[in-house]
Structure 1
Amino acid sequence: MAAPRQTEDELLPSQTEGYKVGQEKTLAELSQLDKEDESLQRWKASLGLNADIAGVARPKKVVPIALFLESPTLQSPVSLDLTLGPEGVKKHKKDPITIKEGADFSVGIKFRVENQIVSGMKYIQVVKRAGMTVDKDETMIGSFSPQSDAYTKIFASEEAPSGMMARGTYNVRSRVVDDDGTIHMDFEWAFKIAKEW
């Protein structure tokens, strides 16, 4: 019997009733708003809303760098390189990360934002074992302006399951989507629960 396929519905972000996404504006448009307010212009510049790119309307872009796992009982974080391109990232599904049963751990992502402000980014993660969904997490990441330095977001700590029944390999699909429904990251990886790291 074939394992059930993951549906796209599982990876859709939740919607807040009554919330409406605001009109998208380019950095050039935002930099021109309230030009006479000097303190507001300084604040905008600190967010990366500089007028020096006025007239250049490039699409917003989130550049994934890494997904990582850290734990107080782990000597150094374990990282998945997301800069390898679609084919390179596929190896993360074939080579699972080991998580010690019962250990507290946190998942985090590292990314860069280019060209435009990205608002309301959410991280969605669906975990499956033997084709059955065992967990789904959705976490608000936030809104980010473009900058050359990478952003890092670490999610809430959780405890790995323990016991003989929990040990084994789990398949994960992770997605980052913004308020506009733009999918910035979508990849699969795997982890296995074992007695030791």
Structure 2
Amino acid sequence: MAEKGDNDDLVPEDTGFKPPAPKSLDEILNADKDDPSLENYKKQLLGNTVPPVFPDNPRNVIVQKIQIEFLGESREPANIQLMDADLSVLKKSPIVIKEGVNYRVKVFFYVQREIVAGLRYINCSYKMGIRVAKDDLMVGSYPPKAEPHVYSSPAQEAPSGMMARGTYTIKSRFTDDDRNDFLSWEWAIKIKDSWKD
């Protein structure tokens, strides 16, 4: 179990970047009306405005699921549903990963109502209560869309060796440069010497 104060681990690293003042989608679309080339560029970039996919959900960013994709392996990806899920039970069912295997995490998420800038995906891994790794990944900026956006993390190699095997608790957070907490959750992986559960 993570030690007291580990929530501080999920705070984005300070890069010194100061995001500009937020603007609504309408403000962005209505600016520069006298420049046709810029208007066309914005339409290509932002697409058509769409109504909220989940109008009863006040969040602008909704994380649907994460998927662990095993590279170079004839194995189906592992999916963890996050939207409308009981997040408290996720770490009770660790995902088995064979040691030494290359994998990447994909995050499926919706953006509704307004553009979101500077999205970040932060992961902290703990083994026996001690933090062993932290990834602070820049996801980017996204406009509202009716379908989910998909972010793919860089490939990682699962640790190998007897000391590396075992269960790891992962604390994850989907946030942005303004430190809005779109979703925080805990899940688990189990590094084994084979794919057997």
Identify the TM-score tier after normalising by the shorter chain: 0.7 to 0.9
Structure 1 residues 105-184: aligned runs within 5 Å? 105-184=103-182
Shift of 1:139: 0.8
CA contact (8 A) 1:28 1:51 kept: no
Q: Which segments of 5 or more consecutive residues in structure 1 lack a partner in the other structure?
A: 54-58
Shift of 1:41: 1.8
CA contact (8 A) 2:119 2:177 kept: yes
SS at match of 2:41: helix
TM-score by length of 1: 0.88
- Sort the Cα spacing of 1:163 and 1:14 in 2 relative to 1 into closer, same or farther, 3 A: same
- Sort the Cα spacing of 1:50 and 1:28 in 2 relative to 1 into closer, same or farther, 3 A: farther
Q: Which residue type is aligned with residue 14 of structure 2?
A: Q
SS at match of 1:188: strand
CA contact (8 A) 2:49 2:144 kept: no
1:138-186 deviations in Å (ceiling 9; x for gaps): 1110000111111111111111111221111110010011111111121
Structure 2 counterpart of 1:29: 27
RMSD: 2.1
Shift of 1:42: 2.3
CA contact (8 A) 1:111 1:151 kept: yes
1:45-72 deviations in Å (ceiling 9; x for gaps): 233365798xxxxx76111111111112
Of the structure 1 ranges 37-46 and 101-110, higher mean CA displacement relative to structure 2 is found in 37-46
For 1:84 and 1:78, locate their aligned partners in 2 and report how far apart those are by CA, in whole Å: 18
CA contact (8 A) 1:167 1:192 kept: yes
TM-score by length of 2: 0.88
Q: After the TM superposition, which segments of 4 or more aligned residues of structure 1 sit over 4 Å from their partners?
A: 49-53
Q: Percent identity?
A: 37
Shift of 1:83: 1.4
For 1:43 and 1:183, locate their aligned partners in 2 and report how far apart those are by CA, in whole Å: 30
For 1:155 and 1:51, locate their aligned partners in 2 and report how far apart those are by CA, in whole Å: 28
Shift of 1:3: 6.2
1:118-151 deviations in Å (ceiling 9; x for gaps): 1011111000011110111111100001111111
Q: Which segments of 5 or more consecutive residues in structure 2 lack a partner in the other structure?
A: 52-57
SS at match of 2:66: strand
Is 2:73 aligned against 1:73? yes
For 2:8 and 2:109, locate their aligned partners in 1 and report how far apart those are by CA, in whole Å: 25
For 2:152 and 2:88, locate their aligned partners in 1 and report how far apart those are by CA, in whole Å: 23
Structure 1 residues 18-57: aligned runs within 5 Å? 19-48=17-46
- Sort the Cα spacing of 1:96 and 1:184 in 2 relative to 1 into closer, same or farther, 3 A: same
For 2:109 and 2:8, locate their aligned partners in 1 and report how far apart those are by CA, in whole Å: 25
